[in-house]
A and B are shown apart, each in its own frame.
Chain A
Amino acid sequence: MRATSKLRELLGTGKTLFVPGCYNALSARILETVGFPAVYMTGYGTSLSLLGLPDAGLATMTEMHLNARYIANAVAVPVIADADNGYGNAIGVIRTVREYIQTGVAGIHLEDQAIPKRCGHVAGRRVIPIEEAVGKYRAADAIRRQIDPDFVLIARTDARGAHGGSLDEAIRRANAYLEAGADLAFVEGPTSVDEVRRVCKEVHGPVFYNQTGVSPRFSLEEMNALGIAVSIVPGATFRVTIQAVYDLARDLKERGPAAEAEFNERFKAHPLGNIHSFAGFDQVREWEEAYLPAEEMDKYTDSVGHQPVKR
């Protein structure tokens, strides 16, 4: 089954789909291993991990969709990817949707920010006029219908927190975008529980909720009760990476090689501590046994290092 159809199925259960964010193929694989039925590619994390740059519209469409492609190729679960503002006007959006569909992701969100965009939880955002944004969603809808009607289109509005914006304006826009053809509406950055309640009540379609930054946190039960269709926690995985890498780096700096040796001992006890197996070497050996001449396998005899095993 195509990833897009799989995501449609997950959306059809009527329960909140809880989707953590990944920022590269490795973090996506970890989320999949733990058992999440879908993963989300964060633009903030892509910009920071791939380029070392802030989420300020500096990552190009090429860089974003390449990262999306690597992630979609690394996992079997559907991927929802950040596509910023579609990288241009309605014409640019047509190319963007085409490119993202080709990456194999199951859906994207497109926002109504002016170019260049910035993170939805950092001040200084501006939105384009609603008429122009509606044109972009209509274009996105038309092109995905042509290529893959199951491709999921999430319309994000930044009108709540943008310069001169309001929650009323954001709700008005969310409804206009749903009417233009979006499958889900994503009101970015509500700042209180009451605001989220209003979004769920007044948006006439499935709601996509970004549980991060200035927005309140809910339990899964609470989100089910509110009627939220999808909820993402985009940044937790790259934050925990930053913390872990920083802590290890400090330890290496202070104590030298001993810190690495001790870390390795601790890591061996970790569920993913068998790193070569997690990386996929066992799978490679299985393929070799199935498809290469038998004498090729002699290379494992008396060869030093991790010996892949049959899974």
Chain B
Amino acid sequence: MRTTTRLRQMLKEPGIIVAPGAYDGFSARLIEAAGFRCVYMTGAGTAASHLGQPDLGLATLTEMANHAAHLASCVSLPVIADADTGYGNVLNVVRTVREYERAGVAGLHMEDQVAPKKCGHIAGKQIIPTQEFCDKIRAASEYRTDPDFVIIARTDARAVTSLDDAIDRGNRAAEAGADVIFVEAPQTDDEIQRVAREVKAPLLANMVQGGRTPAVKVAELERIGFKIVIFPAVCMAAAVPAMERSLQELKETGTDWHDGPVLSPMDIFRKVGFDWWHAIEEKFAPRS
């Protein structure tokens, strides 16, 4: 079954979809191995890991779609990918949807920020008029080639205008054809409740540790009516301090061997599919 169709089914079934954020193939593999049913490709993580740059709209459509294709090809789960602003006007949006469909992801989210965009949890964002945003969503939903491809509309209006405007934009984007609505960065528990009550469409919650939205656990988000929750930073936030710690240790001790369990190269290869490839080799190219 295509991953788009599977994600559609998951949207129809009861229960919330938990999609931890992958910033590269390795983290996507680990999300699948941990038993999650969906992977989220973080744009901030893509810019940081792929380019070594902050999430300021510097990553191009090509870079984002290529990265999405790598993630989608190394896991069998549906991948929801960040597509920023759609990289331009409605024409660029149509191209973006096509490129992301080809990349093999199951859905994308597209926001109403002015290009170049900024991370949803930092200051200085600007938004386009509601009508222009709805036109982009309509173009995206009309020009997808796979009707199961999931279009998620994200509004950044909360930090620019008001929560009321964000809720209005969410409802209008749903009318324009969005399958799921993503109101970025509500700032209190009450605001989260209001989004859940007042946006009349399936909802995505964005839980970023250290971001502007208070932490709400999966079970509670499910109870108040959210359909998808993403944790974009979970892998990267764990990896960065671990890498820093190891680098510091290397500098201090002069070796990367340490007390306790060490990861051998084979331990690492196993986590990225070695056994699967090895079985193919055994079957079709046995060693003499």
Chain A complexes with chain B = yes
Which A residues are closer than 8 A to B by beta carbons?
Answer: 53, 56-58, 60-63, 87-89, 91-92, 95, 115-116
- Which residues of chain B have a CB within 8 Å of any CB of chain A? 53, 56-58, 60-63, 87-89, 91-92, 95, 115-116
Q: In the complex where A88-B116, A91-B116, A95-B53 touch, is A62 in contact with B89 (Cβ < 8 A)?
A: no
Residues of chain A within 8 A (CB-CB) of B116 are 88-89, 91-92
Q: Are A88 and B115 in contact (CB under 8 A)?
A: yes
Query: Measured between C-beta atoms, what is the minimum distance from B223 to chain A in Å?
Result: 41
Whether the Cβ atoms of A91 and B92 lie closer than 8 Å is no
Measured CA separation A250–B88 after assembly (Å): 37
Query: For A63, what are the chain B residues with a Cβ–Cβ distance below 8 Å?
Result: 62
Q: Is the CB of B60 within 8 A of A116?
A: no
A95 contact set on B, CB distance < 8 A: 53, 58
A–B Cβ pairs within 8 angstroms, 6 of them? A57-B88, A58-B88, A63-B62, A87-B60, A115-B115, A116-B92
Rank and list the top 4 A-B pairs by shortest CB-CB distance, nearest first.
A62-B62, A60-B60, A116-B88, A88-B116
A-B contact count (CB 8 A): 43
The docked-state distance in angstroms from the alpha carbon of A60 to that of B87 is 9
Note all chain A residues with C-beta closer than 8 A to B95. 53, 58
Q: Are A62 and B60 in contact (CB under 8 A)?
A: yes
- Taken together as a complex, chains A and B put the C-alpha atoms of A58 and B115 apart, in Å, by 14
CA distance A91 to B58 in the complex (A): 8
**Nearest CB in chain A to that of B61: its residue:** A60
State how many angstroms separate the Cβ of A60 from the closest Cβ of chain B: 4
Q: Which residues of chain B are within 8 angstroms of A88 by Cβ–Cβ distance? A: 57-58, 115-116
User: How far is it, in angstroms, between the C-alpha of A63 and the C-alpha of B61 when the chains are bound?
Assistant: 10
| A53 to chain B: closest residue by CB | B95
Chain B residues whose C-beta falls within 8 Å of the C-beta of A116 in the assembled complex: 88-89, 91-92
The residues of B that contact A91 with a CB separation of less than 8 Å are 56-58, 116
Contact B58 A92, beta carbon cutoff 8 Å = yes
Docked CA distance A95–B92 (Å): 20
* CA of A53 to CA of B63, assembled, Å: 19
Residues of B within 8 A of A53 (CB): 95
In the bound complex, what is the Cα–Cα distance between A61 and B54 (angstroms)?
A: 17
